[in-house]
Chain A
């Protein structure tokens, strides 16, 4: 199940500068584990100690937020595109 994963710039120090990597995984949870086995430290940036996605991380499969699918159990198939997107917020107050 080869899927393309788009890596945001702040995580590229962990992927050797690659903005897109391809991994074999059948669901989002497996994808995170495969990413971490190749790019050590990625899982810690994406998930908390309980393995849940951190609040500032969103993962999209073909433009659908996995929070509205099956979260980390969201299935993947060959040709899917996965985007890791940071939550951006702030302001003066």
Chain B
């Protein structure tokens, strides 16, 4: 997955500013033949009510709005991002289980580990139904 430096910086800043809570957002772009390039990032509110320090939820109402606006601009949803405060930048078992239950095949997830609200590090993954697991996705920050 390719993403401009400024957009990745915006994701990392969002993750730091939201600490100690998880933050989340949507990755938009144009999905060419085998080439994913994010050219817009939309932060959305973490709608998780009970445990926003360790869980996130993107409300479908927010997602349908982002999807509609994206389509109006010729973009589509390539994936999502969320943060893991004081936790590694890789999908958790919760992430895997929920993705396996849902509509996630081929969708990119960027996971940002945030240490102490300061250091933030991203990683990218693609969920595959056939393996019921996330596979590492090369992250090309341009």
Q: Which residues of A contact B (CB under 8 A)?
A: 6, 8-11, 13, 19, 45, 55-58, 60, 63, 65, 83, 85-93
Residues of the A chain whose Cβ atoms lie less than 8 Å from the Cβ of B76: 9, 19
Chain A interface main SS type: mixed
Tell me whether B55 and A90 are in contact (CB under 8 A).
yes
Tell me whether B103 and A60 are in contact (CB under 8 A).
no
Q: Which of B57, B71, B129 sits near A6, CB closer than 8 Å?
A: B71
> Is B35 engaged at the interface, CB distance under 8 Å to the other chain?
no
> Is B102 engaged at the interface, CB distance under 8 Å to the other chain?
yes
Tell me whether B68 and A90 are in contact (CB under 8 A).
no
> Is B61 engaged at the interface, CB distance under 8 Å to the other chain?
yes
Q: Which of B61, B91, B92 sits near A65, CB closer than 8 Å?
A: B61
Tell me whether B60 and A87 are in contact (CB under 8 A).
yes
Q: Report B52 CB to chain A, min CB distance, Å.
A: 8
> Is B107 engaged at the interface, CB distance under 8 Å to the other chain?
yes
Nearest residue, chain B, Cβ from A84: B103
B5-35 CB contacts (< 8 Å) to partner A: 22, 24, 31
Could you list 5 examples of A-B contacts with CB < 8 Å?
A: A10-B104, A10-B106, A55-B101, A89-B48, A91-B95
Residues of the A chain whose Cβ atoms lie less than 8 Å from the Cβ of B84: 91-92
> Is B3 engaged at the interface, CB distance under 8 Å to the other chain?
no
Nearest residue, chain B, Cβ from A90: B95
- The answer to whether residues A58 and B103 also contact, given A9-B77, A92-B54, A92-B94 and a CB cut-off of 8 A, is no
Tell me whether A58 and B60 are in contact (CB under 8 A).
yes
> Is B58 engaged at the interface, CB distance under 8 Å to the other chain?
yes
- The answer to whether residues A91 and B54 also contact, given A6-B71, A60-B64 and a CB cut-off of 8 A, is yes
- The answer to whether residues A92 and B103 also contact, given A6-B71, A19-B76 and a CB cut-off of 8 A, is no
